[in-house]
Amino acid sequence: MPKKTWYILSVLICLTFGVHAQDEGKDASNQKKGVVRIIADTQLVHDIKPSVPGDDGPQMSGYRIQVYAGTERETAQKLKNEIAINYGVRTYMIYESPYFKIRVGDFRSRMEAQQMFHTLKQKYTSILLVPGLINLPELK
C-alpha cells in the first residue's frame, strides 16, 4: 500500500474512535448524578440556618428586632442564647457576609414588636426594628 493510503486509513480510524469516545462520555454524563460536598465547621453549620423564604414553614410579612450585627460569631451565638433564655422569645442568627445578625421574634404588627423593642432597649443599645418575613405563630 502506498504511503498516502496508510495515512488516510489511520486518520479515519482515529476519527472513528474519537467520535465513539465522545458519544460514550455524553451517555455516561446523562446517567450519572452529581454529588456536591460542602466542607465546613460543624458548629457553624448548626449555628447558622440559611435564610431561605419558606424554609421554616409558612411565612408572612411582619417584624423582627435586630439586636446585633457584627463579624464575631461567638459573640453573636452567646447573645442569641442569652436573649432566648432570658426573654423566652425565638431568636435567629442570620449570616450575610461578612456580618452575623441576631434577630428576635416573629411579630405580626409594628405595635406588637414595639413592646419587646422597649424591653430589649433597656439592656441593648443599638437595636433596630426590621420589617421582613416572619414565621407564622404556632397554633395552640
Mean pLDDT over all residues of the chain? 79
Q: Are 87 and 123 in contact (CB under 8 A)?
A: no
pLDDT at 123 over 60: yes
pLDDT at 62 over 80: yes
Cα 106 from Cα 63, distance rounded (Å): 6
Residue 138: the pLDDT is: 72
Higher pLDDT, 21 or 32: 32
Q: Are 62 and 92 in contact (CB under 8 A)?
A: no
Q: Are 100 and 93 in contact (CB under 8 A)?
A: yes
Q: Is the peptide bond before 98 cis (omega within 30 degrees of 0)?
A: yes
113 three-state secondary structure: helix
**Per-residue pLDDT band at 93 (split at 50, 70, 90):** very high
Mean pLDDT on 2-23: 62
